[in-house]
Chain A
Amino acid sequence: MAEKMMRPPKLAIGPVAWMRQNLFSSWHNSLLTIVVGYLVITNVAPLFNWLFFEATFRGDEPSDCTGAGACWLFINERLNFFIYGFYPDELQWRVDVMFGLLAVSFLPQFIERFPGRKWFGIFGLTGLPLIGIFLVPGGSFGLEIVQSSKWGGLMLTLILAYIGILASLPIGIVLALGRRSEMPIIRGICVVFIEVWRAVPLITVLFMASVMLPLFLPEGMNFEKLMRALIGITLWQSAYMAEVIRGGLQAIPRGQYEAADALGLGYWKKTGLIILPQALKMVIPGIVNTFISLFKDTTLVLIIGLFDILGTVQSTITDPAWQNVAIEGYVFVAFCFWIFCFGISRYSQNLERKLDTGHKT
């Protein structure tokens, strides 16, 4: 019974079969593939030409941009402004240190087996902002003061997003607990706060912060523009955060509360030791999504006259010395945001998979 060794038919495995299955499974699928494929190829090739092959990377002056493609020279020339805003050149090392610490705190989070990466993360949430408060504005330890009106660019974007998230998380937790409280008046106050902030656009909140906050404060007390924007962003964002956390609180089975009660734990111990750790873990993806949307929304501060990264680029692309660099500027900013947002969202998906302890069905 000599059985002939037969290779699987060529049309069942390999690239040809893959294409038959995924691209040409039926006549209308084939048509779709050909039409879409044609459109992709005819559009992607010029795009790459513009981005890389015909683009200008080297040179010193606007006149060096002679190629048909993008003029990356413009970005290169203005990079300092895009990253630091008006921060004095000789003091930029202070911002660089913060960038470095930020990278040290969070890059290890992407590497699965990095030793003690939890501690790097905890440092990022506690020590890093503490150092930043002294280092970036200066004023103590013999550091020269840099007014917040001189901050700008990517650094301002990161500061806004970072402080926004750090401040809105605890406020959001308190609001979420308040909304789940059994005390009707506390619950009512929290519901009204959350629903009102969530219903209005961030722009109106920023306008309010910049126009009305000075009116609200007692005479003689005033905040800088950046501080006012931060207050507005934090209030607005904490309402969103509260709803995310409320979702987590609602997902905790009743038995957990009852077990804590049976152990005789008081409200704060029950909440702090049993409910919140589980709830927060469950909604990490939601928290991260809120963070991503906050990160993108920080661009709105340019409307009230702060120079975040989009603001710095927007203010330079009209420079008459450079012709038609608008698209290059926008592509650059889009790329910066995309790297951060895409990276964070991928990280959150990883975390979700790892922390999945079987709560979800």
Chain B
Amino acid sequence: MKKQTTDSRPSGPKPWYDPRIRALFFQIVAIALVFWGGWTLVDNTLTNMQSRGISTGFGFLEETAGFGIIMSLVPYDATMTYGRTFVVGLMNTLLVSAMGIVTATILGFIIGVARLSSNWLVAKLALVYIEVIRNIPLLLQIFFWYFAVLGSLPSPRQSVEVAGSLFLNNRGLYLPEPIPQEGFGLVWGSILVAIVAVVGLSKWAKKRQLATGEIFPTFRVGLAIVVVLPVLAYLAAGSPMTWDMPALKGFNFGGGITIIPELAALWVALSLYTASFIAEIVRSGILSVSKGQTEAAKALGLPNGRILRLVVIPQAMRVIIPPLTSQYLNLTKNSSLATAIGYPDLVAVFMGTTLNQTGQAVEVVAITMAVYLTISLLISLFMNIYNRAVAIKER
């Protein structure tokens, strides 16, 4: 878009035909419009709030909330402040997003690869999964898992039981909770040592490979170190771990870790839904690597596993990462659908209950939107850094 500059002509055009003056004019008009619009909004809002008796400011964050929340990662009860409810909601949003991102990525990669399988049945099954799941609204899928599947589970007394330690009923999934005892520090220490050892090992292996060309099985040996060392430390310290078992007390279970059905439904629906999109991204990424690359690697005599690991996947990742980032963002934003089934995420707790109780719509909506804006910007920042690291290095 080059400017069609004509202003160097001796006679000189009329000023309103000069693109620079025009640009200046339009920008001044745009600024004026934005300021006028903004001022009108603020003015209207203040007038409206005054006439309805709504207070302003962020003082409400210090007030007592007075409502209970069914699940919180930080200690919470009804006597705490609205500021605390914000933290509880935020943590719950982050929790379900992180869980969803992990499972959706794993599932998406599996399905994406299955879609390319040479096995006709597996490939078609993956296709059917993708076409069905991604053409059905997410909210409907959340409802399905919450009301139709989890809602029809038995009551706590008739729980589905696995090995006497894992219980599933319509109040949620109950798991034993590990509680580290005295001496568990040794295990943490050994994990740290193992990680340092693996880093050193991989450096040494790379150096040796550059010098002699011999390949050391770093991954397998590294995995062995990371698994074996902590297990030895655990046994040496005398198994310093007890399990808090869930047990039926009265009408409900107590103890252990509880995954409430709201969280479970949201997690399952978000993972399955996003996985169908990730699968297509993975497929197109793998297909984008030209066949010649695989053939060239074969001609060099590389075994199949190494072709995949060293030639195909690094090139596919370049195509996969940018759209994958958008999917992570979508998943995080979609976790706000939690409010429809009552999982206490940021939107449900803060934009729902807190807003209703305090009536301070402007502040609450602004804070909530700012949080999502920050999360989005952070995710894309990290993914862009990673993206730059794997991009083709061109001169």
Contacts and interface: CB of A to CB of B under 8 A. Distances in A.
Interface string B154-170: 00000000000000000
Nearest to A19: B120
Provide the main secondary structure of the chain A interface.
helix
Contacts of A215: 44-45, 48-49, 361-362
A184 B28 CA distance: 11
Contacts of A258: 2
Contact of B48 (A201, A219, A326): A219
Contacts of B34: 189
Contacts of B131: 342
A202 B372 CA distance: 11
Contacts of A37: 121
A103 interface: no
B153 to A, nearest CB: 13
Contacts of A337: 135-137, 140
B347 interface: yes
B334 interface: yes
B373 A207 contact: no
A12 interface: no
A208 B369 CA distance: 10
For this complex, into which size category does the number of interface residues on chain A fall? 35 or more
B304 interface: no
A166 B201 CA distance: 60
A29 interface: yes
B152 interface: yes
A45 to B, nearest CB: 16
Interface in B29-64: 30-31, 34, 40-41, 44-45, 47-49, 51
B351 A199 contact: no
Contacts of B148: 326-327, 330
B365 A208 contact: yes
B355 to A, nearest CB: 7
A207 B365 contact: yes
B119 A32 contact: yes
Given A36-B121, A200-B373, A215-B45, A261 B27 contact: no
Interface string B285-324: 0000000000000000000000000000000000000000
Interface in A186-230: 186, 189, 196, 198-204, 207-208, 211-212, 214-219
B340 interface: yes
B140 A310 contact: yes
B140 A257 contact: no
B51 A219 contact: yes
B4 interface: yes
B139 interface: yes
Nearest to B334: A201
Interface string A1-41: 00000000000000000000011010001001100110010
Contacts of B41: 216
Contact of A338 (B48, B135, B138): B135
Contacts of B40: 218
B228 interface: no
A182 interface: yes
Nearest to B374: A199
Nearest to A211: B361
A317 to B, nearest CB: 7
B393 interface: no
A204 B30 contact: no
B365 A204 contact: yes
B132 interface: yes
B351 A216 contact: no
A23 B347 CA distance: 48
Given A203-B347, A261-B2, A330-B148, A185 B31 contact: yes
Given A32-B122, A219-B48, A203 B362 contact: no
Contacts of B373: 196, 199-200
A330 B135 contact: no
A143 B351 CA distance: 40
Contacts of A330: 140, 143-144, 147-148
A352 interface: no
B23 interface: yes
Contacts of B389: none
7 contacts: A23-B120, A182-B3, A207-B351, A300-B337, A303-B339, A330-B148, A337-B135
